[in-house]
Chain A
């Protein structure tokens, strides 16, 4: 299929590995000659969604804004990679319906593993009651029901997760897989077979 834009939407709890995998994906796709933009939740909250909090209403506005930008990019043949907790199914599905060429990647990791990793020191604060509205602790996370890819980051390396995503993108025809044409010997075989079958 021809090159088209699409959005890869990473969702999952804080510290699950969304940004790590998303950045690797961005690099690989750029190397393959695609135009790619990454909208990372932490970065977006410093500019596009500066001033928004973590109430449900504010989270919904944040995710809708990211979805809006992803849609603009997608329809202009750019690959948009969104990496945000995006905890509410309904809003993720809204974005899916809006964008169309939408690949949802659920970056899954058990809460106890995340609390132990605590890469940003936030789980300790949240569990101590020092951070309100923290997804997974004091705020809900609604798991995707039918994501295109599930990356279980307590069981696989980022490279394995990346491979899963790239395979899915190839299977869905969003990116091309490398394929070889006939070698001269193979071509000769095909020619003889087609002649024998009367086609040539």
Chain B
């Protein structure tokens, strides 16, 4: 049996198992190969199942608590306003490519969320969609940016103006983005030596959020026979073909993995968290609002406020604690009582028809062994992610079916995908119990490197 010499990881943001491994498997021949010639399965994401920090959790094998990152934007301190974006400067834990660089192994890293601003690695790095735009230095080495242009590659960081009703334009941009990213991958495969290659394609996430309601019969907005009904299916087939092209270029000493950071599911609607807090007496604004308005902390009467929240694919709730927040009102000894009460009441929020929706509320210390940075006081999966959290205030009801930031049809789901093919990989085995934090130790072991003792994931037994 051949020894593994290299590892290639194809990352597909939000690629979802129920579509890949179930509904469309017979139309995705390269994904089907995983099921007959390799290993495959659903892979559990972290909580929260969000692009940032999920990809970094995968690449460091550390959970959000260890990383101190609970989403794209995190509290810098206990003031009401000071937030910091979770770019590469915030992630201090070493990644797979950091360990490999130290072992003098070459890595090529393309588009992995959490890699801007770039830093030197032993190899090449192209940063992610959290890069301001392509006018900045978004590659390491810096010269790679011009090299790509000189070879006819117009690298696209992300789709523009995602929140658009111009679906044709969105679709065109999505395909362009994927095409340029794949051109970049093949160019680097042509011209570079590497031991580890990882690319993350954001397209699946964008196509889900943009087109889910056109595809999914159980979506409240679905209309049978609509012109975009097959968009996601067609895009999945494109991804399958691209995966096939990459596989054709890899030799028999390369371990191939395909992964996603989380899955996708129908979004039933949004729960207006701050409006609910107002209604329940936990949050008081200085003025009454008559129409939906972006929430700003300057609107708040802190002397009468116990809690406020933020919107996104999952909800975050923050408590206004005396001695902690500048105008805190909750005495420290009542913190847990207020939190427990909120957990109960939030979990009881029904849908617009009065039916329970199965909301899950997490205390950070219950789900992370270590809580670094400033975590939200509560993390909320409304309807177990069937509903998103809406931060705007002044809505007519606590349920909304129009996203506060524009059209969006899908939410994230807790399980993404995992698959592997290559030397020593068992054939046709479905894996269970795969966690996103298992990927990094598995890569390091495959490349003959020791697994650091503080990695939280386990090595997957997929190679000898």
Contact = CB atoms under 8 A, between A and B. Distances in A.
B382 interface: no
A199 B89 contact: no
A173 B85 contact: no
B117 A179 contact: yes
Contacts of A170: 119-120
A71 B117 CA distance: 33
Given A198-B405, A200-B73, A193 B104 contact: no
Given A167-B120, A182-B87, A186-B132, A196 B406 contact: yes
A47 interface: no
B163 A196 contact: yes
B101 A198 contact: no
A180 B117 contact: yes
Contact of B102 (A2, A101, A182, A198): A101
Contacts of A193: 129-130, 158
Nearest to A147: B104
Interface stretch (B22-30, B214-222, B308-316): B308-316
Contact of B311 (A167, A174, A177, A200): A200
A192 B161 CA distance: 9
A187 interface: yes
Contacts of B388: 198
A39 B220 CA distance: 72
Contacts of A185: 132
A172 B139 CA distance: 17
B51 interface: yes
B408 A198 contact: yes
B68 interface: no
A185 to B, nearest CB: 8
A194 interface: yes
Given A171-B101, A196-B161, A198-B313, A182 B85 contact: yes
A189 B71 contact: no
A177 B51 CA distance: 26
A198 B87 contact: no
Contacts, number: 89
A2 B98 CA distance: 11
Nearest to A6: B102
B209 interface: yes
Nearest to B93: A1
Interface string B112-132: 000001111111000001101
B300 interface: no
A146 interface: yes
A8 to B, nearest CB: 14
B87 to A, nearest CB: 7
A148 interface: yes
Interface string B81-92: 000010111001
B40 interface: no
Given A179-B89, A180-B117, A173 B72 contact: no
A189, A191, A196 — which one has the most chain B CB atoms within 10 A of its CB? A196
Contacts of B8: none
Interface residues of B, number: 43
Contacts of A200: 72-73, 310-312, 391, 405
Contacts of A198: 163, 209, 312-313, 388, 403, 405-406, 408
A197 B87 contact: no
Contacts of B104: 146, 148, 172
Interface string B304-329: 00000011110000000000000000
Contacts of A174: 102
A195 interface: yes
A127 interface: no
Contacts of B92: 1-2
A116 interface: no
B384 to A, nearest CB: 18
Given A172-B101, A181-B87, A189-B133, A199 B117 contact: no
A194 B313 contact: no
B155 interface: no
A182 B120 contact: no
A101 B369 CA distance: 29
Contacts of B448: none
Contacts of B403: 198
Contact of A1 (B88, B94, B136, B310): B94
Residue with the greatest number of chain A CB neighbours at <10 A, chosen from B121, B132, B209: B132
B162 interface: yes
A148 B162 CA distance: 44
Contacts of A168: 122
Interface in A146-195: 146, 148, 167-168, 170-174, 176-177, 179-182, 185-187, 189-191, 193-195
Contacts of A171: 101, 120-123
Interface in B330-365: none
B119 A179 contact: yes
Which residue, of A1, A180, A193, A198, has the highest number of chain B Cβ atoms within 10 A? Answer: A198
A22 to B, nearest CB: 20
Contacts of B94: 1, 173
Given A194-B130, A196-B163, A200-B310, 5 more contacts: A198-B163, A198-B209, A199-B313, A200-B72, A200-B405
19 contacts: A1-B92, A1-B94, A146-B104, A171-B123, A172-B102, A172-B104, A176-B119, A182-B87, A182-B132, A185-B132, A195-B405, A196-B161, A196-B163, A197-B209, A198-B163, A198-B312, A198-B388, A199-B71, A199-B72
Which 7 A-B pairs rank lowest in CB-CB distance, beginning with the nearest?
Answer: A186-B132, A170-B120, A171-B120, A179-B117, A171-B122, A1-B94, A196-B163
Interface of A: 1-2, 101, 146, 148, 167-168, 170-174, 176-177, 179-182, 185-187, 189-191, 193-200
Interface of B: 50-52, 71-73, 85, 87-89, 92, 94, 98, 101-102, 104, 117-123, 129-130, 132-133, 136, 158, 161-163, 209, 310-313, 388, 391, 403, 405-406, 408
